[in-house]
Amino acid sequence: MLGKKSVLDSLAAKRAALIAESDANRHEFARDWEALKAEASRAVRPVQKARHYISVGTKAVGALIALRKAWAQSHNADGKRNWTATLIQTARIGMSLWPMFRSTVR
């Protein structure tokens, strides 16, 4: 019986050591995971800013193209520029583009 008790004590000690090691590994994994999340969020911020600037740039280019088209089509039949029609068309373009340039609440 004495030999059986010593084997059981040995197995219990190994089990306790494995549980302690498992807890240590779990805590280390949690720390590594938090560090990875922080690093990923730090790496994503410049990409988000670049995406924002590219988005605003494409909207601005679209607005300029629309204004250029309105400017080119603002001539009367006699070749003179119709300023009223140009201003109205420009206002229409501005009103249609306003929601795109307005800052959005995040």
26-71 pLDDT per residue, tens: 999 999 999 999 999 899 999 989 988 898 888 888 888 888 887 7
Helix, strand, or coil (residue 85): helix
Quickly state the pLDDT bin for 21 (edges 50, 70, 90). very high
Nearest C-alpha neighbor of 27 from the set 17, 16, 19: 19
pLDDT for 77: 65
- Helix (H) or strand (E) holding 81, with range, is none
CB–CB of 93/64 below 8 Å? no
pLDDT for 14: 93
CB–CB of 81/74 below 8 Å? yes
Quickly state the pLDDT bin for 99 (edges 50, 70, 90). confident
Quickly state the pLDDT bin for 1 (edges 50, 70, 90). low
The answer to whether residue 3 scores a pLDDT higher than 80 is no
CB count in 10 Å sphere of residue 56 = 12
Average pLDDT, the chain: 84
